Amino acid sequence: MSDTTTTLAITRAVPGGESRVEEYVVPYEDGLTLLDAIIWIRRHHDPSLAVRFSCKANACKECSAVIDGKPGFLCAQRAVPDATTRIGPLPKPRLIRDLVTELY
């Protein structure tokens, strides 16, 4: 097992409240997606991090977020070794909590 890591800088927020950015360092492995990394954070570090996902295979379109300034899907983008990826909620839909926004 390598010691390579990837860092996620995630916007934590509640509606009407102050938002803050928390950095999480996640063990990197080949093929790790941003969603995999967030699941690792919830499993090993902070289960209170809110994220919406379902299929993990780019079909359901539930795991949208703003990734390094651009909208995208967390399951469809790879984490980057030895680098930081900034992740926040979509700006337009109503915020539910953290990365979760309203979706129909």
Partner 1 sequence: MLLETDVLVVGAGAAGLMAARAASAAGASVVIVDKSIIGRGGATIMAQMTTAVALGAAEPDSVELHAQDTWDGTRDLGDRAIIDVICTRAPDVIREVEGYGANWARTADGRYSQVFAPGHSRKRCVYVDVLRTGDAVSQALRSVVRRDGDVVRLSNVMLTKLAKDGDRVTGALGFAIEQLEPVGIAAKTTIVATGGLTFLYARNSASANMTGDGFLLAAEAGATLRDMEMVQFFPIAHLYPPLVQLDPIMWDPFRYKLGGRLLNGNGEEFLGESGDASGAYTTPRDTATYKIFREVEAGRGSPHGGAYLDFRMIGADALKAGFGPVIDILARQGIDLTRDMVEVSPMAHFMLGGIAVDAAMQTGVDGLLACGEAIAGMHGANRLSGNAITEALVTGRIAGETAAARNAVARTPVEAALAEEWSQLQALWHPRAVTRDDASVDAFKARLQQTMWENAGPLRTGAKLERALADIRALAAESEGLALAPVEAFALNLQERVELRIMLAVAESIVLPAIERRESRGAHVRLDFPEQDEVAVAHFLTRGGERWSMTARETAAASA
Task: Give strand pairing partners of 33.
Answer: 78
The dihedral built from the CA positions of residue 66, 71, 77 and 81, taken in this order, carries a sign that is negative
The single-letter code of the amino acid at 42 is: R
In terms of CB distance, is 7 or 38 closer to partner 1?
Answer: 38
Minimum distance from residue 69 beta carbon to partner 1 (Å): 20
Q: Return the H-helix or E-strand segment holding 42.
A: helix 34-44
In terms of CB distance, is 20 or 43 closer to partner 1?
Answer: 43
DSSP annotation of 48 reads: T
In terms of CB distance, is 23 or 44 closer to partner 1?
Answer: 44
Return residues touching partner 1 (CB under 8 A): 14-15, 30-33, 39, 42-44, 47-48, 50-62, 75-78, 96-98, 100, 102-104
Nearest to 81 by CA among 17, 28, 20: 28
Minimum distance from residue 92 beta carbon to partner 1 (Å): 17
Minimum distance from residue 53 beta carbon to partner 1 (Å): 6
